[in-house]
């Protein structure tokens, strides 16, 4: 049962149900009555009252309380903004079922690649888990019984020497002078990535205190662990050329790279292909354990199956180099 009284300019609601008492003050009496109704339902049923809240309401709360605490807050906020455009966002949480998730998955698979759908899937999965386990807005995650989209096969695209020269030309980059334009600094960052296998986000995050001369210390990486990346002579030259700071954001790198790539007529190349190219090259001089220290991979199978392209002839050469003379 609820009771209401006015205290100054505020309205107080007192609720007593099943021996439990709750009270709260509000700006208007209507707000006090609505809160009292929801609280009575919660105390009576033992569950959180979600009323007509929708998936969109859940996504909004997730952005405010969870996404905002992440390093990748802005990209995740954009992904959630895209999720809010789908019909799934209009579904009331009280009616949400696996069939809604299946319909969303099938629709998105007709629009984008399976790998891209998987990114949205993983985000939604955590949103629904949070709603069920932490906020009690759902009894259970409706995605647990729905088949996940298949990931895209690993990219095998490598950067050709001719493409490097074209990008240098298109970006107006010079090895003889400090890069001043965004395009030139992007190109310097890309060349640095080809030497180090570092991701764009890691490169733009380099600070003077991270430069240890022979290696760069990354205090935070994609997998959450710190990493030390050794520098080749060319990588050292590039870092010195930009005075230890490429002065770029990840978005600037992405936009500038695509603009220069299209201008010089290179098809299908991405900035991130520099990582595969660097790791493939390094696999010729490093064993898989050392390669994992450079790349930060925790799963050696990814390195072995995707980047570590040592042939039987290569292994025979290594064995014979270490064998005693006849």
Looking up tokens 């009575």, which residue turns up? 40
How far, in Å, are 7, 14, 29, 33, 48 from residue 1 at the CA level? 20, 8, 16, 11, 18
Catalytically active residues, by annotation: 199, 222, 297, 307
pLDDT in tens, the chain (326 residues): 678 888 888 988 887 776 677 788 888 988 888 878 877 766 676 666 667 889 999 999 999 999 999 878 888 999 999 999 999 999 999 899 999 999 999 999 999 989 899 999 999 999 999 999 999 899 899 999 999 998 888 778 899 999 999 999 999 999 999 999 999 999 999 999 999 999 999 999 999 899 999 999 998 887 778 899 999 999 999 999 999 999 999 999 999 999 999 999 999 999 999 999 999 889 888 888 888 889 888 878 777 777 766 677 877 887 887 656 55
How far, in Å, are 37, 40, 177, 222, 313 from residue 19 at the CA level? 16, 12, 77, 49, 79
Q: What DSSP character marks residue 47?
A: S
- Cα Rg, the chain, nearest whole Å: 27
* Residue 123 tokens, joined: 């985000």
What is the distance of C-alpha 241 from the center of its chain?
30
pTM: 0.69
CA separation for the pair 133, 139 (Å, rounded): 8
């Amino acid at each position: 049962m609820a009771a209401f009284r006015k205290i100054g300019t505020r309205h107080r609601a007192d609720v007593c149900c099943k021996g439990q008492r709750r009270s709260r003050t509000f700006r208007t009496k209507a707000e006090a009555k609505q809160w009292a109704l929801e609280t009575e339902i919660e105390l009576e049923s033992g569950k959180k009252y979600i009323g007509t809240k929708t998936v969109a309401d859940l996504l909004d709360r997730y952005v405010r309380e969870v996404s905002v605490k992440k390093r990748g807050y802005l990209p995740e906020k954009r992904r959630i903004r895209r999720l809010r455009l789908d019909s799934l966002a209009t579904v009331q949480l009280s009616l949400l079922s696996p069939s809604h998730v299946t319909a969303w998955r099938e629709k998105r698979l007709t629009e984008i690649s399976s790998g891209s759908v998987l990114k949205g899937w993983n985000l939604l999965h955590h949103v629904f888990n949070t709603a069920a386990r932490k906020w009690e807005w759902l009894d259970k995650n409706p995605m647990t019984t729905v088949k996940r989209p298949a990931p895209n096969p690993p990219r095998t695209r490598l950067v050709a020497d001719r493409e490097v020269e074209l990008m240098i030309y298109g970006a107006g980059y010079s090895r003889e002078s400090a890069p001043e334009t965004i395009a030139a600094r992007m190109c310097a960052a890309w060349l640095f990535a080809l030497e180090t296998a570092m991701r764009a986000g890691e490169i733009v995050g380099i600070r003077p205190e991270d430069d240890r001369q022979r290696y760069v210390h990354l205090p935070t990486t994609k997998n959450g662990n710190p990493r030390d990346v050794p520098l080749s002579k060319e990588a050292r030259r590039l870092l010195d050329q930009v005075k230890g700071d490429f002065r770029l954001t990840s978005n600037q790198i992405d936009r500038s790279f695509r603009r220069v790539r299209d201008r010089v007529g290179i098809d299908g190349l991405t900035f991130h292909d520099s990582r595969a190219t660097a790791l493939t090259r390094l696999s010729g001089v490093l064993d898989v354990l050392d390669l994992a220290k450079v790349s930060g991979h925790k799963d050696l199978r990814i390195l072995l199956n995707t980047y570590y392209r040592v042939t039987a002839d290569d292994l025979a050469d290594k064995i014979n180099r270490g064998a005693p003379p006849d």
